Amino acid sequence: MIEAKKLTKKFGTTAALDEISFSIGSGSVFGLVGSNGAGKSTFLRTLAGIYKPGGGEVLLDGAAPFENSEVKSQIFFISDFPYFLPQASLKEMAAFYSRLYPSWSQKRFEELCGMFPIDSKSKIVNMSKGMQRQAAIICAIATQPRCLLMDEVFDGLDPVMRQLLKRIVSGEVAQREMTVVIASHNLRELEDFCDHVGLFHKGGVVFERDLDELKLGISKVQAVFKPMPELSAFAPLEIIKTEMHGSLINLVIRGTKDEILEKINGLNPVFAEVLPLTLEEVFISEMEVAGYDLENILN
Amino acid sequence: MTSKTSSTRRMKEFRETYLWSLKKNRGMMALLALLMFIALPMILMTVMANTQNRITTEIYTPEMWTQTYMSGIMTLTAALVTPLSLIFVLVISVSLFGYMHQKRSVDTFHALPVGRTPMILGRLLAGLTTLYAPVLLNFMIVFFVGASYPVLLQNCWTAVLSYLLWLMLICLATLCLSAFMAVCTGMTTDMILSLLGVNAAYPLLIFLGDRFASSLLPGLNTGLNSNSLFLTALSPFSAAFMPYILSGSQYQGGSSPVSTGFYVWWTVFTLILLAGTVILYQKRKSECAESSFAFSLPKNAIRFMITAVVGLGFGLLLQSETENLSNFFIGLIAGSLAAHIVTEAIYSRGFKQLKKSFVGYGFFAAVFLAAYAVLATGFFGYDTRIPSADSVTSITVNDAYTSSGGRINNKSQHELAEILPTLTEKSNIDKVMELHKTITQEKRSHSYPYCLNSANGSPLTITYHLKNGGTMKRTYYFEYQTDDQGNFFSPLGDVAKSKEYRETSNLLFYVEPEYIKSIDVGSKTSESSVTFAPDINTKKELLDALKQDILDGKVGDGKTAADSFTYLMIEYKAPLQLKDGKLKTLLNGYDGDIYLYANNYYYAEGSGKTSELMEKLGWTK
């Protein structure tokens, strides 16, 4: 299990992580989402043992990763722009990692080389961005880590490769209870991949929740009222966002579908429908509450 | 995790880091081996082969072969092998430690299950192996080259080993300094600039600081010269060449051209650098990559050194050209300010931090002002200090125009002693101390606090040898006056004409007739000379005649304008084994081989015992 306890990391006077506390269970696929500069990559690097926490701690099964080779041998970090040894091929990178990671599986490496359309003997530096990502993923999975950290890994992968990645990772999670923490702005990709989501903003955690629970706990309602009731009539509902166009009202409301529908029907609409939100819509709505929305930015 | 498991793991991490770093640099190792082969064994083989081809017309003894072999090794090591090695240290450092200066590579390497200590030490050892393997290989080839010619290897293997060990030590020191700079800086460019900066600025700062202090404080004699360890203590690039500068261009035989002090200092300094590198690397933040400096102390130190060097250099230059003290300060401020701004702009990639950096400039100004104030006021009584007469056992004088003794070297060409006038008679000691007192009083009355004074004129150095075993040395500069015949007046006055002074200032009063190998007789107006190899009795006669003429002032050393027209050049046997006598006593009973330099003695024909003897022997025809 990954635990962050009042974790703080500052760069100069800027707090990239500001006393964040949450936990990630073993065997879960945790999606890290958030605004630009929210602290997602900083969190991943701190968990990977690259950054030393400025305050608090981050633990993997009770042990801090910084300067702890035993813990780090169970973690593999794929950065947003992976680095490879100069002029190395995938085979050479495999040889490099195999000597350092005790759980390296050469068999798994060869299986993965067969799945991805990549030449293991060509120099990685000459490959496209997407193929370099594939090379990083192959090395990562072949080390058989207990915890896989990925930063913007979907960027540069074509849709087929994305699906392949998701399937491979999901398989590893199912077979070995590997824990995955993935940071991405591509919420559509995360939606059908993650089972938990954490939303970061300005160094803090806005929320951290089971994805299904998150999506069930917030809904979009489209209703037509004739006449439109006063806004105070909607007070019993926990409204996040309101849009009115004549007699049509669109509401984003926290609560279960049944609870929301009961209260809306109590106001006698002509028509009312509850729709689930996509993760992107949830993100935008929650960010609006935090003051990070388009209107605020433009004003 | 037990400590045994931890140390086993660390050893594994170290080994793996070492192996893949070595693998990464194997091309570099091969290239260095090839270049070094060309620079050393190949050229040496060519030289030896050419020598082989020439010897049909002359007899070449094993000693001559050894001389050729060792001179070749020394010259090639100094001129080619050492610079090549230092260049490769820089290149290898960039290859091994450059990863710290890019965010992407730092992310990858610091995420690996490898601790920072094994990471840095593994890389250092890989760098050393990359440097040492070619060096050892090529020196081994050099040994075999020597073995295939009639070279007396048993006589010179210690010298060769010394060159090799020195090269290896200085490469290690430079590599550790590079690693230290890599850890402290955020970018590879800053690492290279800092390395070059400290290597260039430090010796210059010591040299200019010495010039400045000597120009300000009368009598100051720091003893700083090209042999000084202190001059190159933080500059491995400069220190690398010191042993070759000491030895000169010719191998003269001997064991080690590198002094023990150099070995000890550079070993200690290297260990300090290594420890500092490991400790700082553990503290270094990964996010410092691509920023200015991870630890600002080297930057501040180097900026200080460069500011001081340019300021002092420009100030002293202007002052010496114009003999105007205010110009020194103008040059100091202009030079130091410009250097500070340029250095800061280079390190900070612009002028954003310039305002904040003036705290550092203020520190330089404060240090300079404090040093100037202390020196200008006499450095706590240094300027007027004269020992009491009853604490002095003898005084040695080094006067540019009356000291003619020469140096005595051992077989490694290290100086054993210099023949300098040494006064032990009370009357002479009293006269010199009175002169010293007069000088200090004149200096004080001329201007106090003292002003900068270019060291114009010739130096006069007075060294007091004290009863407690210590020494006190002072150097003053004089514009020597001459008489109508062009003879210089020594500031020492009558002391320079005393018997004791003349006897102790000339090598002839120390040598035995058997030490003399040959005598060249020539004329100042003629290019050719005639060489004589007299028997022992003639040598004794000649020695006695010369000594008497020296005491009578009828033989000179060629320094005066009105010197006579005939000269004798006495060449000594080399090497010399001393027998009991004045020279052996001067050298405290030294019983190794020594080398004496040939000296010229000028006399007027028809005047003095030497001229009489020349006539009698028929050597003047």
Q: Give backbone dihedrals phi and psi of B280, rounded to 5 degrees, phi first.
A: -70, -35
pLDDT digits (tens, 9 = 90+) for B242-294: 888 766 645 555 556 678 888 999 999 999 999 999 999 999 999 999 987 89
Which of A50, A72, A73 minimises the CB distance to B107? A50
What is the per-residue pLDDT for A67? 94
Interchain proximity B113–A81, CB inside 8 Å: no
pLDDT digits (tens, 9 = 90+) for B67-107: 889 989 999 999 999 999 999 999 999 999 999 999 999 99
Token duo for residue B270: 């290297």
How far is it, in rounded angstroms, from Cα B294 to Cα B277?
12
Q: Within 10 Å of residue B569's Cβ, how many Cβ atoms? A: 15
Contact A142, A110 (CB under 8 A): no
Q: Give backbone dihedrals phi and psi of B595, rounded to 5 degrees, phi first.
A: -130, 130
Please tell me the total number of residues recorded for chain B in this structure: 621
How far is it, in rounded angstroms, from Cα B498 to Cα B135?
57
Which of B13, B20, B285 minimises the CB distance to A52? B285
Where is B482: in which H helix or E strand?
Answer: strand B481-482
Say if residue B226's pLDDT is above 80.
no
How far is it, in rounded angstroms, from Cα B177 to Cα B172?
9
For residues A77-97, average pLDDT:
93
Interchain proximity B286–A67, CB inside 8 Å: no
Positive or negative: CA dihedral A115, A120, A123, A125 = positive
Q: Which chain B residues touch A if contact means CB-CB below 8 Å?
A: 1, 9-10, 13, 16, 19-20, 24, 102, 104-108, 110-116, 282, 285-287
How far is it, in rounded angstroms, from Cα B388 to Cα B442?
20
Structure ipTM: 0.88
Say if residue B485's pLDDT is above 70.
no
For residues B583-604, average pLDDT:
82
What is the per-residue pLDDT for B76? 94
pLDDT digits (tens, 9 = 90+) for B309-366: 999 999 999 988 887 888 999 999 999 999 999 999 999 989 988 999 999 999 999 9
For residues B444-465, average pLDDT:
85
Q: Identify all chain A residues contacting B112, using CB atoms and an 8 Å cutoff.
A: 72, 100
Residues 6+ apart with CB under 8 A from B612: B545
Q: Identify all chain B residues contacting A45, using CB atoms and an 8 Å cutoff.
A: 107, 111, 286
Q: Identify all chain A residues contacting B279, using CB atoms and an 8 Å cutoff.
A: none
Which of A48, A52, A96 minimises the CB distance to B111? A48
Give B530 or B213, the one with higher predicted confidence: B213
Interchain proximity B113–A72, CB inside 8 Å: yes
Which regions of B385-470 does DSSP assign to beta strands (E)? 392-399, 406-410, 415-419, 422-423, 458-466
Interchain proximity B108–A82, CB inside 8 Å: yes
What is the per-residue pLDDT for B585? 84
How far is it, in rounded angstroms, from Cα B67 to Cα B400?
34
Report how far Cα B315 is from the mean position of its chain's Cα atoms: 25
Token duo for residue B367: 């240090």
How far is it, in rounded angstroms, from Cα B40 to Cα B138?
7
What is the per-residue pLDDT for A83? 94
Residues 6+ apart with CB under 8 A from B585: none
What is the per-residue pLDDT for B561? 46
Contact B336, B318 (CB under 8 A): no
Interchain proximity B285–A48, CB inside 8 Å: no
Residue A149 burial (CB < 10 Å; 0-12/13-18/19+)? Answer: buried
Say if residue B598's pLDDT is above 50.
yes
- Give the global pTM: 0.86
How far is it, in rounded angstroms, from Cα B163 to Cα B355?
48
Q: Residue B6 is which amino acid?
A: S
Q: Identify all chain A residues contacting B292, using CB atoms and an 8 Å cutoff.
A: none
Chain B: residue whose CA lies nearest to A88: B24
pLDDT digits (tens, 9 = 90+) for B7-59: 889 999 999 999 999 999 999 999 999 999 999 999 999 999 988 887 765 67
What is the per-residue pLDDT for B384? 93
What is the per-residue pLDDT for B252? 52
Residue B110 pairs with which residues in a beta bridge? none
Cis peptide before A269 (omega within 30 of 0): no
Say if residue B240's pLDDT is above 50.
yes
Residues 6+ apart with CB under 8 A from B426: B389
Which of A11, A67, A69 minimises the CB distance to B9? A69
DSSP B507-528: GGGT--GGGEEEEEEEETT-S-
What is the per-residue pLDDT for B204? 96
Which of B19, B24, B115 minimises the CB distance to A67? B115
Q: Check residue B42 and report its DSSP letter.
A: I
Say if residue B559's pLDDT is above 60.
no
Give B93 or A273, the one with higher predicted confidence: B93
Q: Give backbone dihedrals phi and psi of A20, rounded to 5 degrees, phi first.
A: -85, 145
Q: Which residues of A105-118 are buried (b: 16+ CB within 10 A; e: fewer)?
A: eeebbeebbeebeb
For residues A175-193, average pLDDT:
88
Give B502 or B368, the one with higher predicted confidence: B368
- Average pLDDT, rounded, for chain B: 88
For residues A128-149, average pLDDT:
94
Residues 6+ apart with CB under 8 A from A114: none
For residues B151-175, average pLDDT:
91
pLDDT digits (tens, 9 = 90+) for A219-250: 888 899 888 888 888 888 888 888 888 889 88
Interchain proximity B113–A101, CB inside 8 Å: yes
- Average pLDDT, rounded, for chain A: 88
